[in-house]
Amino acid sequence: MSVDLNILRKKQRLTMVGLMTGTSMDGLDICVAEVEFGKKSAKINVLETGSAPYSEKMRTDVEICLELDEKMIAETDDSLGRFMANETTRFLKRHGLNDIDAVAMHGQTVHHVSGESTLQIGEPSFLAQALDVPVISDFRTADITAGGTGAPLIPIVDKWLFQHPEEAVVCLNLGGVANVTYLPPKTSDELILGFDTGPGMALLDEASKALTGNNFDEDGAMAQVGTAREESVEGWLSHSFITAPPPKSTGRDEFGANWISEQLPDMNSWRVNDVLATLSLFTARSVAVNCREFLPFETVKQFIISGGGVYNKSVMRQLETEFSSVSILTSHELGFDPFMKEALGFAMLGAAHLKGIPGNLPSVTGASEAVVLGKLTV
User: How many CB atoms neighbour CB 182 within 10 A?
Assistant: 25
Tell me: do 317 and 359 sit in the same domain. no
Domain total in the chain: 2
CATH classification at residue 240: 3.30.420.40
Q: Are 153 and 140 in contact (CB under 8 A)?
A: yes
pLDDT per position as a tens digit, 296-352: 999 999 999 999 999 999 999 999 999 999 999 999 999 999 999 999 999 999 999
**Coil, strand, or helix at residue 107?**
strand
Low-confidence ranges of the chain (pLDDT < 50): none
Find the angle CA(77)-CA(81)-CA(83) to the nearest 5 degrees: 120
- Percentage of the chain surpassing pLDDT 90? 93
pLDDT of residue 25: 87
Tell me: do 227 and 308 sit in the same domain. yes
Q: What's the CA gap between 301 and 171, in Å, rounded?
A: 11
Q: What's the CA gap between 286 and 269, in Å, rounded?
A: 24
pTM: 0.94
Domain that holds residue 144: 5-150+339-377
pLDDT of residue 41: 84
Tell me: do 206 and 91 sit in the same domain. no
Q: What's the CA gap between 17 and 100, in Å, rounded?
A: 7
pLDDT of residue 1: 65
Q: What's the CA gap between 115 and 98, in Å, rounded?
A: 39
Q: What's the CA gap between 339 and 296, in Å, rounded?
A: 27
Q: What's the CA gap between 360 and 370, in Å, rounded?
A: 6
* Cα atoms in the 13 Å half-sphere on the side-chain side of 86: 9
The length of the chain is 378
pLDDT per position as a tens digit, 208-249: 999 999 999 999 999 999 999 999 999 999 999 999 999 999
Residues β-bridged to residue 193: 182
Tell me: do 350 and 288 sit in the same domain. no
